[in-house]
Structure 1
Amino acid sequence: MDSLRPELFDFKGVSMSRYFTDNWENIQNFQARPDDILIATYPKAGTTWVSYILDLLYFGQISPERQTSIPIYQRVPFLELNISFEETGVNLADRLPTSPRLIKTHFPIQFVPKSFWEQNCRMVYVARNAKDNVVSYFHFDRMNKVQPEPGDWNSYLHRFMEGKVVFGSWHDHVNGWWKKKQSYSKLHYMFYEDMIEDTGREIDKLCSFLGLSPSVEEKKRITDGVQFDNMKKNDMANYSTLTIMDFKVSPFMRKGKVGDWKNHFTAAQNEEFDEDYEKKMKDSTLQFRTEI
């Protein structure tokens, strides 16, 4: 299985791996529909969480059997994914029977296929503070055999700061989408920390953006269902059915906490990271919380 681990290379100015660029033309020519909803995140920032919330909001009552029979990665296809023994994300998205189609991407803003903009699609972006994000990404790269070998924590942290991980720089990613939000009204920008702090409140904001009005009971059912411990036990949401993930190394859903970075960063690493962060984020109006 380890032979699947790809090399990182520069692709149009962004660090990528072949699993997300080999199908480039088909991805870029993807035909979005006006009611499609694109869920976008930097990896390990709450993608599955928001995907699951949206799936429950739209289809939880209409087809409850989906929840127990179809894994989330088939209900919400990963658009750019192209691994030989899996169906491509583009094909899965094209064949989705649902309306709206829920589609996920980790692309930086400049890689999003143009039809999503032409069709004026709604988009939901989730951002997570950089420190928890890098910790989560490190453990994910350890257990996911189609990601480049992560190496040790210290060297990984430095590569993350340099943007030398798959999907490139965290700073560019969160800022690129944040900037787009200022000019594109159909983009809802969420923060992982806010969702942890009050999931119900953030689901309310999401519903208001999408024009949905679930009943009080339905909202409670969704809020309970998407709590971290419930999702972690749910085989249709926790990725345990995917053979490329080695759960002996680390679970796909590990802790789902804010502030776990404190268990990984040394004082020196923290200082260096903060200094680098200040430089890269100095012109941004984005504000993150590293603890709540």
Structure 2
Amino acid sequence: MELPPRPTLFDFHGVSMSKYFTDNWDNVQNFQARPDDVLIATYPKAGTTWVSYILDLLYFGQTCPERQASVPLQQRVPFLDISLPSLPTGTDLAEQLSTTPRLIKTHLPVQFVPKSFWEQSSRIVYVARNAKDNAVSFYHFSRMNRAAPEPGDWNTYLRNFMDGKVVFGSWYDHVNGWWQKKQTYSNIHYMFYEDLIEDCGREIDRLCSFLGLSPTLEEKNRVMTDVKFDNMRQDQMISFTTVKYMDQSISPFLRRGKVGDWKNHFTVAQNEEFDEDYKQKMKNSSLTLRTEL
């Protein structure tokens, strides 16, 4: 398959986007959510795949084990926003889901989420990751993913990240917009990537409490084993090895899965500038994210 050229960024209602997330806009906005849908919302590279897989196993690991070995995760938990040439759109895949509940993922900032999710009181799981690790992960992902704009070198990319000139816009606007929405919409469970790394079992318990699930200890232990980073990396149904747009020889889709990898990328000067900028942009936010454990 001939891959199309990398997209360019443009301003879309105040948010940097590429055509692969705006070409199907009307269908995304008109998507009909259901009351039992579970929407997994994140800024890109904040643990989306990890939490998608945890939820998929909690709901369907027992009832449909054959899916785990034969259906790629991106079909079990479709990416609502996406529209790539010669592939089914995210909305098409979501509408074709036969599972109940439907697990659907999005990277949309809160103001772009289809209104039917709010109208139907669908449950939403939001995952936030600290900005430094998120920037590093997004950079490496952009290097290997031909559906992403050309990232340039690390220094250029970091500047663009700080300025919100990356797909899905500003990290600051994203995490804060969802945090504010949580204060008025009770069906949002707001999680942190660092908490998952620190104690996955505790975070699974919190998820189950939010979703009204009560797995047995054996089921929970099986989920915790399956979602270990190395096990996910080796699972072709999880690691996106079947996706032609991604060149995993440049950087693996599941790369490090750690907290604090930013220290291997930021120079002292970059770190000081980033911290100063962060302080300004987060001064009115009550959100606290950990950059190390």
TM-score interval, normalised by the smaller of the two chains: over 0.9
The residue type paired with residue 104 of structure 1 is K
Q: Is the contact made by 2:3 and 2:245 (CA closer than 8 Å) also made in structure 1?
A: no
How many matched pairs? 292
Cα distance in 2 between the residues matched to 1:151 and 1:58: 40
Q: Is the contact made by 2:164 and 2:171 (CA closer than 8 Å) also made in structure 1?
A: yes
2:124 paired residue number:
123
Cα distance in 2 between the residues matched to 1:55 and 1:186: 19
Cα deviations by residue, 1:113-147 (Å, 9 ceiling, x for unpaired): 00000000000000000000000000000000010
Q: Residue 178 of structure 1: CA displacement?
A: 0.3
Q: Is the contact made by 2:6 and 2:147 (CA closer than 8 Å) also made in structure 1?
A: yes
2:139 paired residue number:
138
2:80 paired residue number:
79
Cα deviations by residue, 1:187-241 (Å, 9 ceiling, x for unpaired): 0000000000000000000000000000000000001110111101110000011
What is the identity percentage for the equivalent residue pairs of Structure 1 and Structure 2?
Answer: 71
Cα deviations by residue, 1:25-73 (Å, 9 ceiling, x for unpaired): 1110000011000000000000000000000000000010000000000
1:107 and 2:105 correspond: no
Cα distance in 2 between the residues matched to 1:235 and 1:84: 23
User: Gapped runs of 5+ residues in structure 1?
Assistant: none
Q: Secondary structure at the match of 1:255?
A: coil
The residue type paired with residue 110 of structure 1 is Q
1:181 paired residue number:
182
Cα distance in 1 between the residues matched to 2:181 and 2:3: 38
1:151 paired residue number:
152
1:22 paired residue number:
23
Cα distance in 2 between the residues matched to 1:197 and 1:228: 13
Q: Residue 2 of structure 1: CA displacement?
A: 6.4
1:56 paired residue number:
57
Cα deviations by residue, 1:101-124 (Å, 9 ceiling, x for unpaired): 000000000000000000000000
Q: Residue 4 of structure 1: CA displacement?
A: 2.5
Q: Secondary structure at the match of 1:40?
A: strand
Query: TM-score, normalised on structure 1?
Result: 0.99
Cα distance in 1 between the residues matched to 2:185 and 2:162: 28
Q: Residue 85 of structure 1: CA displacement?
A: 1.1
Q: Secondary structure at the match of 1:125?
A: strand
Query: TM-score, normalised on structure 2?
Result: 0.99
Q: Secondary structure at the match of 1:85?
A: coil
Q: Secondary structure at the match of 1:65?
A: helix
2:37 paired residue number:
36
Cα distance in 2 between the residues matched to 1:154 and 1:122: 38
1:277 and 2:278 correspond: yes
Q: Secondary structure at the match of 1:6?
A: coil
1:163 paired residue number:
164
RMSD, aligned α-carbons: 0.7
Cα deviations by residue, 1:136-162 (Å, 9 ceiling, x for unpaired): 000000000010000000010000000
2:212 paired residue number:
211
Q: Residue 246 of structure 1: CA displacement?
A: 0.1
Cα distance in 2 between the residues matched to 1:5 and 1:188: 34
Q: Secondary structure at the match of 2:127?
A: strand
1:228 and 2:229 correspond: yes
Cα distance in 1 between the residues matched to 2:160 and 2:107: 18
Q: Secondary structure at the match of 1:4?
A: coil
User: Gapped runs of 5+ residues in structure 2?
Assistant: none
2:263 paired residue number:
262
Cα distance in 2 between the residues matched to 1:8 and 1:118: 31
Cα distance in 2 between the residues matched to 1:225 and 1:207: 17
